[in-house]
Amino acid sequence: MNLLKYRYLYFAISLLFLIPGIFSLFKYGLKPSIDFVGGALIEIKLPENTNLTFAQVDELVDEEFGLSAVQKSGDSQFMIKSKEVSEEQKSDLTTQLTQQYGAAEVLRFESVGPSISKELLSKTIVAIALVSVIIAIYVWRQFKELKFGVTAVMAMFHDSLILLGSFSLLGHFYGVEVDVLFVTAMLTTLSFSVHDTIVVYDRIRELNRKHPRIQFEELANTAVLETLTRSINNSVTIIVMLLALVLLGGSTIKWFSTALLIGAVTGTYSSSFTAVPLLVEWTKRFK
Amino acid sequence: MKQKSIKRFLVILVLFFVASWISLPESLPVKFDIGGWSVDTDLGTSGIHFTFLGRTIDKKFEFKQGLDIQGGMQVVLEADMSGIQEEDKAQALESAREVILRRVDLYGIAEPVVQASDDYGQYRLMVELAGVSNPAQALALIGQTAQLDFKLLIPPEVDEQELATDSAGLETSMELVDTGLSGAQLKRAQPALNPQTNEPEVSLQFNEEGARLFGEITTDNENQMLGIFLDQSLLMAPTIQQPILTGQAVITGQFTLEEVKQLSIQLNAGALPVPIKVLEQRTIGASLGNESVFLSVRAGAIGLALVMCFMILVYGFRGVLASFALLMYAMFTMAIYKILGVTLTLPGIAGLILSIGMAVDANILIFERMKEEMRAGKPFAAAMELGFGRAWDSIKDANVTTILTALVLINPFNFSFLNTSGLVRGFGITLLIGVLLGLITGVVITRTLIRLFVRERTK
């Protein structure tokens, strides 16, 4: 079976997923959480069967509070989003809510100032750049040829773009925000992606040593075939764990687990069907 | 070979039981009744408590819970250094940290964490308080600027006897007289060594106005006690031994070097007051954390069971062994968390669950390699050893990248250009421990189990 013969099909599949995401990234961008832009979030629990609307909260707070959204986050649980607010402003609101509804328990209160959020943004960019560079250098050194390093990193960017694109779409349609944890998931995706790619590259190198006369494309094809079972079986276990977390893990880390899940799926796909085809193309073109 | 494997297996088994014992929660009642066989016992672990060679060992194994799990508040404060001279800034920040720590300690908050960071001219304090029920009060406590006052302590006319016996009531039974001298007139406090006696002492340096005031006070009140108050509570009450007119004073006593340092830091909090501003605040109610932990642990258990089923379906008996290795892996990981005191956060738990999924990877790589070698016509024993050897190369290479990424997330050297958020670190640490342990269990434990239990099938 010659899997790599269909490499343009794989590129097409990748594009099918990449284009809507990239389009959405340009058109809608990402929805940053207060971690990156500053602001406040109050999550409260009211007595059962209570409903809270934007208008109801807006009546209780003044202009300075800068109320921006009220969302239902669970059974009679609500998230109130606003500009950066102080402890007093928050307790004023909860006191009023308690008076009106009987009880209001603050589950979570976060208020982030603008200077901190700006710093976090730059730290995030540095971390992603650093991980990419470290990985590229490691792969390059390990396989002693530039093409391995470059294609591994290209596959890595492919995965990151799909993840970013998915969250741009999720943000636009479901209001999912990008926070510090998303960045963590993104970095983990980077290492996931390369993890799988290295296993396949390792096999190509081994085969190359054993059969130095066989054409590169054929070698690569054999390597992909030989590692495919392992690749699929391994992803199944990781996907099972992450799927359990997404479906049953509770709201706090739901989107974090989702991000990891998307990363795990594209990471597995891209090693066999993006990194290796790219490697074959490279070898054919720059001989 | 065989005997070596048996020995190794026994060691692994013993370690497994120790690890399981450590990782069990403090109380785990087990109660069931199956066909007349009823069990009602408590499988919990309370820790180690025994005396060995005259030394008492008392260690409790508990998960250290992060703020997002047990509830609490985290505040990032900015220290306003505009009124402080360049060379005093580091000292001022340290004093501000010390004062906040002292206040929350007095307030009765267990294990407060107060960290100071100087990030290219951004002076920050990060305060973590677990289990705070009244965040407004805690914030007010942290947010105020330190106030240092000097007040004369005048003993009551009568009852010197009572005073001697009741030293705890020193503050209340004495009359306090304001002197007008405060932290504002104190330039700096420093730990020093007395040039004659070589005893540790605290040296004080007042500014011009302070020197004049201090001179007046010491002249008028020789042999009286001058109380030094930080945030309205008495720090110490040295006796004025002679008039001091130069603005340079020393406080002597039976101090250790450590105490002298501590006192200087506290005095400097008043001498170098820094107003602080809240930059970021996060409060998490305990109920949210508990619920999330329950949900994610349950998700992890279900996931683990599914992964085991999958492994057994695909790899048969070897899958059973791999599942057993996985169970050991989970126990070892939890035991290590407890022993090292890894702070468990929600993303950390996600990291653990993820690493369980990844730990299987090593096993799968090995099994697939073994299958290949056997297909190539190698005898079973050789195929097994070759499978392990060859798979190890790619396992090692592939895991290096994850380890490097985990290190960037953990940021062990506290580089200021990288993240220092506790949540991100929590995930990084569990990921790192997970990957390292996964390598060990995959290679050492599975290998031993397979050497011992898998026979060549005649087929």
Chain A residues with CB inside 8 Å of B423's CB? 180-181, 184
Provide the β-strand partners of residue B188. Answer: B205
Per-residue model confidence as pLDDT tens for chain A (287 residues):
788 888 889 999 999 999 999 999 999 888 888 888 888 888 888 888 878 888 888 888 887 788 888 888 777 888 888 888 888 888 888 888 888 888 888 888 888 887 777 777 788 888 888 888 888 888 888 888 888 888 998 999 899 999 999 999 999 998 888 888 888 888 888 888 888 898 899 889 888 888 888 888 888 998 998 888 888 888 888 888 889 888 888 777 888 899 999 999 999 999 889 999 999 999 888 76
State residue B42's pLDDT score.
57
Cβ–Cβ < 8 Å for B143, B276: yes
Look up residue B187 and give its two tokens.
């330039």
Q: Which residue in A91, A115, A138 is closest to B404 by CB distance?
A: A138
- Largest Cα–Cα distance in chain A? 82
Residue carrying structure tokens 């677990």 = B130
Q: How far apart are the first and last CA of chain A?
A: 25
Q: What is the dihedral angle through the alpha carbons of B241, B92, B272, B74, rounded to the nearest 10 degrees? A: -110
Partner residue opposite A230 with nearest CB, options B280, B368, B397? B368
- Which of B296, B310, B361 shows the shortest C-beta gap to A240? B310
Verify whether the Cβ–Cβ distance B295 to A249 is below 8 Å. yes
Spell out the domains of chain B, with CATH numbers in brackets: 72-284 (3.30.1360.200), 286-453 (1.20.1640.10)
Domain with residues A39-112, CATH architecture? 2-Layer Sandwich (3.30)
Torsions phi, psi of A69, nearest 5?
-160, 150
More confident residue, A174 or B109: A174
CA distance A176 to B172: 58
Q: How far apart, in whole angstroms, are the C-alpha atoms of residue B142 and residue A138?
A: 46
- Interchain pair B408, A240: CB under 8 A: no
- Name which of A171, A177, A169 is nearest A34 in CA terms: A177
Q: Do A245 and B398 touch (CB under 8 A)?
A: no
Under 8 Å CB-to-CB from B365, ≥6 apart: which residues? A199, A230, A234, B391, B394, B395
For residue B456, pLDDT over 70 is answered with: no
- Comparing CB atoms, the residue among A106, A120, A256 nearest residue B285 is A106
Residue numbers of B between 215 and 274 with CB closer than 8 Å to A: none
Q: Does B291 touch chain A (CB under 8 A)?
A: yes
Closest-CA residue of A relative to B282 is A110
Q: Quick check: B357 and A138 CB within 8 A?
A: no
Tell me the C-alpha distance between A278 and A155, whole Å.
9
Chains A, B: CB contacts within 8 A come to 213
Model confidence pLDDT, tens digit, residues B62-106: 777 777 788 888 888 888 888 777 778 888 888 888 888 888 877
Nearest CA in chain B to A179: B424
Beta-strand pair B29-34/A105-112: unpaired
Look at residue B134 and tell me whether its pLDDT is greater than 60.
Answer: yes
Residues B289-316, mean pLDDT to the nearest whole number:
86
Contact list in A for residue B288 (CB cut-off 8 A) is 43, 107-108, 252
Closest CA to A228 of B389, B365, B383: B365
Strands B343-344 and B64-65, sheet pairing: parallel
Q: Which positions ≥6 away from A41 have C-beta within 8 Å?
A: A34, A79, A80, A81, A108, A109, A110, A111
Query: DSSP letter at A102?
Result: S
Find residue A77's DSSP bridge partners. A45, A74
Distance of alpha carbon B206 from alpha carbon B214, whole angstroms: 8
Q: Is B386 on the interface with A (CB under 8 A)?
A: no
Q: Does B71 touch chain A (CB under 8 A)?
A: no
Helix axes A254-270, A180-210, angle to 10 degrees: 20
Residue B174 clears pLDDT 80, i.e. is over it: no
Contacts of A203 in chain B (CB under 8 A): 394
How does DSSP classify residue A67?
E
Note the pLDDT of residue A161: 92
The pLDDT of residue A167 is: 93
Give the tokens for residue B301: 């258990």
Interface of B with A in 333-352 (CB under 8 A): 346-347, 349-350
Using a CB–CB cutoff of 8 Å, tell me whether B378 touches chain A: no
What lies within 8 Å, CB to CB, of B52 at 6+ separation is: none
Residue of chain B whose alpha carbon sits nearest to that of A199: B394
Q: Which fold has domain A3-34+116-285?
A: Multidrug efflux transporter AcrB transmembrane fold (1.20.1640)
Which tokens is A111 given? 């208020």
| Cβ-based contacts of B417 with chain A (< 8 Å) | 122-123, 126
- Which residues of chain A does B407 touch, with a Cβ-Cβ cutoff of 8 Å? none
Q: Contact A132/A190 with Cβ under 8 angstroms? A: yes
Confidence class for position B458, pLDDT limits 50, 70, 90: very low
Q: How confident is the model at residue B459 (pLDDT cuts 50, 70, 90)?
A: very low
Rounded-to-integer distance, Cα B250 and Cα B263, Å: 12
**pLDDT reported for residue B421:** 67
Query: Would the CB atoms of A251 and B314 count as touching at under 8 Å?
Result: no
State how far the Cα of B237 lies from the Cα of B153, in Å rounded to an integer: 8
Q: Locate tokens 């342990």: which residue?
A: B437
Residues of B in contact with A115 (CB under 8 A): 78, 279
Q: How far is A160 from chain B (nearest CA, A)?
A: 15
Mean pLDDT, chain B, whole residue set? 79
User: How many alpha carbons lie under 13 Å from residue B16 in its C-beta half-sphere?
Assistant: 15
Share of chain B above pLDDT 70, in %: 84
- Of the candidates B426, B329, B425, the one whose C-alpha atom is nearest the C-alpha of residue A237 is B329
HEC string for chain B: CHHHHHHHHHHHHHHHHHHHHHHCCCCCEEEEEECCEEEEEECCCCCEEEEECCEEEEECCCCEECHHHHCEEEEEEEECCCCCCHHHHHHHHHHHHHHHHHHHHHHCCCCCEEEEEEECCEEEEEEEEECCCCHHHHHHHHHCCCCEEEEEEECCCCCHHHHHHCHHHHHHHCEEEEEEEEHHHEEEEEEEECCCCCCEEEEEEECHHHHHHHHHHHHHCCCCEEEEEECCEEEECCECCCCCCCCEEEECCCCCHHHHHHHHHHHHHHHCCCCEEEEEEEEECHHHHHHHHHHHHHHHHHHHHHHHHHHHHHHCHHHHHHHHHHHHHHHHHHHHHHHHCCEECHHHHHHHHHHHHHHHHHHHHHHHHHHHHHHCCCCHHHHHHHHHHHHHHHHHHHHHHHHHHHHHHHCCCCCCCCCCCHHHHHHHHHHHHHHHHHHHHHHHHHHHHHHHHCCCCCC
Domain ranges of chain A: 3-34+116-285, 39-112
Cβ separation A237–B139 shorter than 8 A: no
Q: How many CB atoms lie within 10 A of CB A133?
A: 11
Q: Which residues of A touch B365 (CB under 8 A)?
A: 199, 230, 234
Task: Give Cβ neighbours of residue B451 (< 8 Å, ≥ 6 apart).
Answer: B1, B2, B5, B384
User: How far, in Å, are A58, A103, A114, B128 from residue A62 at the CA level?
Assistant: 7, 21, 21, 30
Q: Do B350 and A257 touch (CB under 8 A)?
A: yes
CA-CA distance, B196 to B203, in Å (whole number)? Answer: 15
- A128/A153 Cα distance (integer angstroms): 12
Residue-level pLDDT at B32: 60
Q: Residues B384-425: pLDDT tens digits?
A: 888 888 888 778 877 888 888 888 888 777 676 776 666 777
pLDDT tens digits, one per residue of B237-266: 888 888 888 888 888 888 888 888 888 888
- Mutating which of A42, A230, A247 best tests the B interface, going by the most B Cβ atoms within 10 A? A230
Would you say the pTM of this structure is higher than 0.90?
no
Instruction: Quick: pLDDT tens for B393-403.
Output: 778 877 888 88
Nearest to B261 by CA among B98, B139, B452, B423: B98
Are B427 and A184 within 8 A, CB to CB? yes
B305 touches chain A (CB under 8 A): no
Which residue did the predictor score with more confidence, B442 or B156?
Answer: B442
Instruction: Specify whether the CB–CB gap between B335 and B22 falls below 8 A.
Output: yes
